[in-house]
Amino acid sequence: VLDFEAAARKEPSHVVFNGHVAALTDRPLEANAGERVRIYLHNVGPNDGSSSHVIGTIFDRVFYEGNPLNDWRGMQTVSLGASNGAVVEFIAPEEGDYVLVDHEFADAQKGALGHITVRSRTGQTTRKITTMSH
């Protein structure tokens, strides 16, 4: 339920990926090591910015606002203002659990946190490697 007064004060109760808290922790995204991963990001919040980052990777390509002419390279974090979007790509370097986070850590504490489970190149999960303690 929208709390208009909290929104006006820029005090959201939740900041989420895919529409609800734990969407990408309950059901992590999946990829294979060495595989190109593409994530579509859109900051639909009306007031605040977002700084999206996947811990343990570098975005080798970022298409700001989804526009192929806005082709940025070698970014760790993509800053998105309210209503901005981007398509980010990276190669998952090795098997493990990669954390997708809003680097505005107050937002991460409110739910803007997700996981990408990266399997071995053969598609198996042969070892559990955590790229960040959580």
Q: What is the pLDDT of residues 70-122, one digit of tens each?
A: 999 999 999 999 999 999 999 998 999 999 999 888 888 888 899 999 998 87
**pLDDT at residue 133, as a whole number:** 44
Task: For residue 86, give the nearest of 131, 53, 46, 109 by alpha carbon.
Answer: 53
pLDDT in tens, 11-51: 888 888 888 888 999 999 999 999 999 999 999 877 889 99
- pLDDT the model gives residue 36: 95
Burial zone of 42 (CB within 10 Å; 0-12 exposed, 13-18 middle, 19+ buried): middle
Note the pLDDT tens digit of each residue in 40-50. Answer: 999 987 788 99
pLDDT at 8 over 70: yes
pLDDT value at residue 14: 86
**Beta carbons of 91 and 32 less than 8 angstroms apart:** no
- What stretches of the chain show up as alpha helix (H) in DSSP? 4-8, 23-26, 105-109
Instruction: Quote the radius of gyration of the chain (alpha carbons, Å).
Output: 15
Other C-beta atoms closer than 10 Å to the C-beta of 111 total: 20
Under the banding of pLDDT at 50, 70 and 90, the label for residue 130 is low
